[in-house]
Each structure stands twice: as C-alpha cells, then as structure tokens.
Amino acid sequence: MLSPATKITLSAALSAILLQTALPTQAKPQTPQQQAQTAIFYQKAKKELPKDWYVVYRVIDRIARANGLDNSPWRAIVIPEYNINAFATDVNLIAIYSGIIDQLAGDSSAIACVVGHEMAHHTKRHIAVGKAEKAALIAQIEKEAEAEVVAEKKDAESDANQNSFGGAVLGTLGNVLGGWGNTVSNVGQSSLSNASKQRKAEAQKRIQEIVTLKKAELEQRLAESDRRQEFEADEMGYQYIARAGFEPEGCLRLMEVFARTPSAEFDTTHPAVPKRIERLKELMAKYPPLTLAQEGKLKISASQPLTYDLSQDGNSLRINSRRGGSAADDIDRRFKQ
Ligand SMILES: [Zn+2]
C-alpha cells in the first residue's frame, strides 16, 4: 500500500510528465525565423526524396499536424505501378500507386484526398477491426452451414437405415416363402436401395445449395460492411484534408477520375461513385471547409515539420511523430546524465 505522501508525490510527478507531453501542442505560433527554417527543411526534403515520395511525405506531414495525428509515426510507400488506386494496411501504413499520383499530377488537393481517406481507414480502425470482424463472420457462417449440413446428413442416414430395415424385413419374408419369396425380396431390396441412393443424392444437393446460399449471404454482408467503411473514410478524410488547408473540391476531382474506371457506377466493395460524390457535397455543407481550415491552421503554426527516415524494414518512408525519429536522442534530451 502506498502512503498518502507517496501518492501525492507520484501524482505530482505524473502531472509533470503529462504537462511535458502536452506542451508541444500548446506551443506558440512559429516566429519568422522558425518559418524560414521550415522552408529550408522542406527544400532539403524535396532534394533528398524521390518526387512522388516527397509529395506523399508533405501531404501526410500536413494532415497529421493539422489534425493532431502526429502522436505516432506514419509509414508511406509508393508502389511504382500504373494503377489508379491506394490502400491502407498493416499499422499506419499507407500504400499509394504511382499511377494515381501521375493521374492527379499538379493537383495536391486530390492526392491529399487519397491519402486522407487511407489515413482515416487507420484511425477508424477499419484495418485492425475489419480483419477480425471478417474472420468472425466467416467462422459464424461456416458454423451455421455445418450445423445445417449435419441435420441434412442425419436425415439422409435415418432414411438409409429405414430402407435397410425394410430390406431386411422383406428378406426374412422371402426366406419364409421360399424361392418365389426370394424373388419378391430381391426386387424389393433393389428398388429400396435405389430410393435410398436418390435420397442421399438429394440431401447432398440440398447441402450444396445451403453452402452456396450462405456464401452469397456472407459476401453480401462483407460488401455492405466494406461500403459503410468507405463512406466513413470519405467523411473523415474530407475533414482531415480541409483542416490541413487543401481544397475539398480535390475530392470531387478525384471522384471524376474514379468515375472513369470500370464499374464506377455500381456498388462493389466501394459504393458507386455518384453516391460518394453526393455524400461529399453533403459533408461540405455540414462541415464548412473554412471553419475546418481555421482549426487546422492553429495546430500547424504551433508545430514543427515532421522529420522522416527510412523505416526499419527498409521498404517504406517513416514520417516521424512530433517527438522525432530517434528514441536514443529523446532519452539524451530528457536525461542529461
Ligand atoms: Zn477506402
């Protein structure tokens, strides 16, 4: 048991730590000198990073700072493939194809809309929970199908047992009646075993039908859940980019590009593009972009550009948290001895 005095000391120490971690977001707006340093920092990044990587870095840096999403590192990877797509995977990893960056050349707001949408998939936990939810759904449906299959099998087996019982009775009768009876018995047995085979085949067919139906139901439920998540990511992504000061119309321009891809007008794993455009317009009215931009501007001016490194697996760019990319340096800063 801690003594009251120890408790007070501990809680004082804890609030000191909390105060320390809260300080960066309460920092004052950048001085002109700091602004000049920021410009130099970005120029260096532009020289160091390949063109597409620089764009993605700048977009993530700005969205993260404007929305308070700079508490832990992000990872980004540009896949050199002409594909009009991007995806979120692993933990805080955004993968974007060079094809979509090329298709949106000159329009950083539209690219920001792609990135903001993928960041939202992470913050809304669609990646972490989505996989577990899908696995649980699949397990549940498999269990249901199995239970129904077992019931069907039992029916078929009991049919088969009744038939063999009937055959045995006829067989006994045949023995009692002698040669003529045997003929009756053989005919009866063969027609019963045919009926049994047919019932078994019918049961097998019904089982197959159940499994097909359940699979179709599962696919439909999964697609509905995917589409719900896509709308959520659009909604959150729009707010992210508007706070970061990008043009929200960038999202509409992105949708124009998506609208030219095959099956854009249909609901697939993604909602149909016209529905996404309609929702985006509703969002712009519900959350005015200027108000969001004001909120974000304060956060950006009170923070520093996020540093970047190659992630430890060497495959992606790590965009560091507001604490930087080196825990060793962080320890040195905190404890001089
Ligand atoms: Zn998505």
Q: Give, for all 337 residues of the chain, the pLDDT tens digit.
A: 333 333 333 233 333 333 333 334 445 777 889 889 999 999 999 999 999 999 999 999 999 999 999 999 999 999 999 999 999 988 899 999 999 999 999 999 999 999 999 999 999 998 877 677 777 877 777 777 778 777 766 776 676 666 554 444 344 434 444 444 445 455 556 666 788 888 888 877 887 788 788 878 888 888 888 899 999 999 999 999 999 999 999 999 999 999 998 877 777 778 899 999 999 999 999 999 999 999 999 999 999 999 999 998 888 999 999 999 999 999 998 998 6
Report how far ligand 1's centroid is from the alpha carbon of 230 (Å).
5
93, 312 contact by CB (below 8 A): no
Alpha-carbon span 227 to 221, nearest angstrom:
10
Alpha-carbon span 333 to 14, nearest angstrom:
19
pTM greater than 0.85: no
Report how far ligand 1's centroid is from the alpha carbon of 121 (Å).
7
Report how far ligand 1's centroid is from the alpha carbon of 118 (Å).
6
Report how far ligand 1's centroid is from the alpha carbon of 55 (Å).
20
Burial class (CB in 10 A: 0-12, 13-18, 19+), 74: buried
What lies within 8 Å, CB to CB, of 138 at 6+ separation is 218
Closest CA to 323 of 20, 15, 2, 104: 20
Report how far ligand 1's centroid is from the alpha carbon of 38 (Å).
32
Alpha-carbon span 112 to 163, nearest angstrom:
70
What lies within 8 Å, CB to CB, of 336 at 6+ separation is none
Q: Are strands 74-79 and 317-319 parallel, antiparallel or unpaired?
A: antiparallel
